[in-house]
Structure 1
Amino acid sequence: MPDFSRAEHESYVGISTLDTVAGLRERYGLRASVDELLAAANRRYLEPARTRAYPKIRKFVELPSGEGMPMAVASGSSPEAVDVILAGTGLDVFLRTAVSADEVPHGKPAPDVFPEAARRLGADPAHRVVLEDAAPGPAAARATGMRCLAIPNVAAQADAPEFATASLLLRGGQTEFTARAA
């Protein structure tokens, strides 16, 4: 298999893990099944050294949680990845509701994870705000009637047209994010 460059990796940010491995399987003619590739990707992605929460995001999550505001994770990652990352970062204490793209008909850029997360919270999507780090997310959030605060995981992608649909775009990503800015 050819080298998988950082740029190629970045092109898959925000796409469900399942869709990513299926696409890579086809693109590179891999013989392993999608399930085998998904298991391998999860093992690699979930190495303990890779699990961390950005301190400013942690603080942002802690504040509304302390006031009883319901919050959920709506992710393109597998349920296993979401669970391990939330537990590994300690954010599982605050984010008890999670929806994986594997649990809905379509992953991002389809909006399916967002209304499902709102449903599980018992909330009207129009009264929810999405924090999104990947280009496919803002348009998906808008399609559900949700506002979107975009914090690009890959700062170089901040100019992607998909981010233009965000209610608020922090072009500098994590480095620019503060609870006050949000």
Structure 2
Amino acid sequence: MIFDLDGVLADSEQLWDRLRREVVAAHSGSWGPGATEAMMGMSTPEWSAYLVEQLGARATPEDIAEHVIERMAEHYTADPPILPDAVPTVRTVAERYPTAIASSAPPRIIRAFLDTTGLGEQVGTAVSSEQVGAGKPAPDVYLEAAAGLGADPARCAAVEDSASGLRAAAAAGMTVFAVPNPHFPPPEEALALTHRVLRGIARLPDALADLAEEP
């Protein structure tokens, strides 16, 4: 079982968005229509370059990324944005299936999440899109997570909240469950790629049990 992080286990999509907007404004850039949606699923090198090249932030992508990630890490330390039911759901699923995280968040933030929640022992492998060829909607991060589990991607399930994440997991050949992000809901064509749409992460264990009973 492979979990996305932002929007599935952590209520962090809005926080990423706010921090990026702040850094663009602070560096004389201008937020454009559709920028939020365009960056969802991007790896750190991709979104930091987007802020500079597309939104006009006057800094290097490396400096932009360092600033935003530092601020996000501070939030995880002071007030971790863990979603309700996320931790018990991961624990329940990990009792039955090998479990991984495949996230667009940088490794530092994934580690902060695992340290904050104490889920390090339950999550067998954690992969950031920084560590692979491309961010979501490319399937790279999901394929790498499956490899880390020693599993055939076609025998893996993934849970995602965003359009780019749903497309990435589907492109990897996985069975995809959607827990739509209420702040940035995915379009119907992305939801059509999923096995089932769930009303909350707490429904995942039962959905997996149902899947295991299907012929």
Aligned-pair CA distance for 1:156: 4.7
Q: Is contact 1:78-1:102 (8 Å) kept?
A: yes
Match of 1:18 in 2: 45
Match of 1:65 in 2: 94
Counterpart residue identity of residue 158, structure 2:
V
Residue in structure 2 matching 1:107, options 135, 139, 151: 135
Q: How does 1:4-15 map to 2 (within 5 A)?
A: 8-9=35-36, 11-15=38-42
Report the 3-state secondary structure (helix = DSSP H, G, I; strand = E; otherwise coil) of the residue aligned with 2:126: strand
Aligned-pair CA distance for 1:155: 4.7
- Bigger Cα displacement from structure 2, 126-135 vs 23-32: 23-32
Q: Is contact 2:89-2:202 (8 Å) kept?
A: no
Q: Which one has more relative contact order, counting CA pairs under 8 Å at least 6 apart?
A: 2
TM normalised by structure 2 equals 0.72
Q: How far apart are the structure 1 equivalents of 2:114 and 2:188?
A: 28
Aligned-pair CA distance for 1:83: 1.0
Match of 1:53 in 2: 82
Counterpart residue identity of residue 126, structure 1:
A
Q: How far apart are the structure 1 equivalents of 2:47 and 2:143?
A: 22
TM normalised by structure 1 equals 0.84
Match of 2:145 in 1: 117
Match of 1:30 in 2: 57
Q: Which runs of 5+ in 1 are unaligned?
A: none
User: Could you report, residue by residue, the CA deviation over 1:65-121 in whole angstroms, capped at 9, with x for unpaired residues?
Assistant: 223x21111111111111112212222232141111111111101000111111111
Moved over 4 A (4+): 2-5
Q: How many residues align?
A: 178
In percent, how many aligned pairs have the same letter? 33
Judged with a 3 Å threshold, the aligned counterparts in structure 2 of structure 1 residues 60 and 37 are, in CA distance, closer, same or farther, namely same
Q: How does 1:1-182 map to 2 (within 5 A)?
A: 1=28, 8-9=35-36, 11-46=38-73, 47=75, 48-67=77-96, 69-170=97-198, 174=200, 177-179=202-204, 180-181=206-207
Aligned-pair CA distance for 1:10: 5.2
Report the 3-state secondary structure (helix = DSSP H, G, I; strand = E; otherwise coil) of the residue aligned with 1:113: helix
Q: How far apart are the structure 2 equivalents of 1:80 and 1:89?
A: 14
